[in-house]
Structure 1
């Protein structure tokens, strides 16, 4: 089943970190191979560790993503430059506040995470992922 991808906060030859649904609930996903996480088993580029998110963290991640999307739209329109990345000046203070919280909340928790392979799809300008649990 295709699940919605809400954020892609790190990209290297594909999504490596962000927030997406897993079994209908928001999770932080992180590519174990890319992050260099030693979870006690061999990691490959398509394997992800999925950590459930609480409602507050999920909402903050969405808010920060919206801040980045405003920057991206302004950059595409030519109304801002790369020098302001990743936020517009008017969003900088809020982004900094959110970022401080998310640094401690958007992390892989090896005690509560699921391991899955992820196949990402892009349909109509939106991102989706199909997870297959790895036992």
Structure 2
């Protein structure tokens, strides 16, 4: 079982739901699939290869968020300043808009995958409550 880099995590809901991570050493946008039956997210993910420009913008967007997240969990700012609220950070807004438009144009790999995420070691210096850096291993979904 080989773990790979997780670059970005955009959505969390009872676990990681969307972001960007490597699959076989190549960056992919990933999105967990919603299961209408149990009315919840499944453990199945679609993966979409992404290019250099997508990665450049996704990394910058993530860095802006992580800087805010660190300040927030250190008690240096409040929730009202979250860049995702819009109108807080113009660069973040522009990046988010561009990325959202690109995500709908991406072409998914034909297979679904299951993910196992785990925290990277040596993150004791991060403030409490701050999301830890992760890595992931992917396996083909039996579905």
In structure 2, runs of 5+ residues without a counterpart are: 124-132
Report the TM-score when normalising by structure 1: 0.82
Can you list the C-alpha shifts for 1:52-105, whole angstroms capped at 9, x where unaligned? 001100110010000000001111121110011136x9x701001101100111
Partner of 2:63: 66
Determine the C-alpha separation between the residues in 2 that align with 1:26 and 1:110.
Answer: 13
Partner of 1:5: 6
Q: Name the structure where helix makes up a greater proportion of residues.
A: 1
In structure 1, runs of 5+ residues without a counterpart are: 37-42
Q: Mean alpha-carbon deviation: is it higher for 44-53 or for 109-118?
A: 109-118
The answer to whether 1:76 aligns with 2:77 is no
> Cα–Cα, structure 1 residues 79 and 68, in superposed 2: closer, same or farther, change >3 Å?
same
